[in-house]
Homo-oligomer: A and B are copies of this chain.
Amino acid sequence: MKSRLALRVRYAETDQMGVAHHGSYFIWMEAARTELLREQGLSYRELEERGYFLPVREAHLRYRRNVQYDDRVIVESWLSALGGASLVIAYSIFREGEENSIIAEGQTRHAFTDRSGRVVRVPGFFKDLFKGEASPSAAEL
């Protein structure tokens, strides 16, 4: 199950090359994760309130094309692996209406931790959300 977040590139997200700065993409991917979880019935805000956190342990992105200020961008995201204490989310970014022309694609790997940062096992209610979605393989990038 893939989630799609639509956004417009903000002026502040550009740099003097005249395109969106490469660091902006990670912020968009994070916003996309929020929607991915919400569409599964879980807000990440609630997850934190229940004492679970998903800090990024690894991030990887390939940039294929540029996007510019005011472009409408879609960030597609999906759970690509779910391990015992971590998960991997994958992303595909493209201009609205141009999904065959990938702008960037990548993954983030997250640990499941408690408030203090200690790694914990993925809770059952979380696994249930994605039942049958991702193989329970080792969540490696």
Q: Which residues of A contact B (CB under 8 A)?
A: 8, 10-12, 14-19, 21-23, 26-27, 30-31, 34, 43-45, 48, 53, 55-63, 66, 68-70, 117
Please state if A27 and B44 are interface contacts (CB–CB under 8 Å): no
Q: Given A55-B17, A63-B56, A63-B58, decide whether A11 and B26 contact each other with a Cβ distance below 8 A.
A: no
- Contact for A62 among B23, B26, B43, B58, CB less than 8 A: B58
- Chain B residues with Cβ below 8 Å from A61 are 58-60
- In the assembled complex, the Cα of A48 lies from the Cα of B57 at a distance in Å of 27
- In the assembled complex, the Cα of A70 lies from the Cα of B17 at a distance in Å of 14
Least Cβ distance of A97 to chain B in Å? 17
- Chain B residues with Cβ below 8 Å from A59 are 22, 59-61, 63
Can you list 10 contacts pairing A with B, beta carbon distance less than 8 Å?
Answer: A11-B15, A11-B31, A12-B15, A14-B16, A16-B19, A22-B26, A23-B27, A45-B68, A45-B70, A60-B61
- In the assembled complex, the Cα of A101 lies from the Cα of B27 at a distance in Å of 27
The 10 A-B residue pairs with the shortest CB-CB distance, nearest first, are: A14-B16, A22-B56, A23-B26, A45-B70, A12-B27, A16-B18, A60-B60, A58-B62, A14-B15, A10-B31
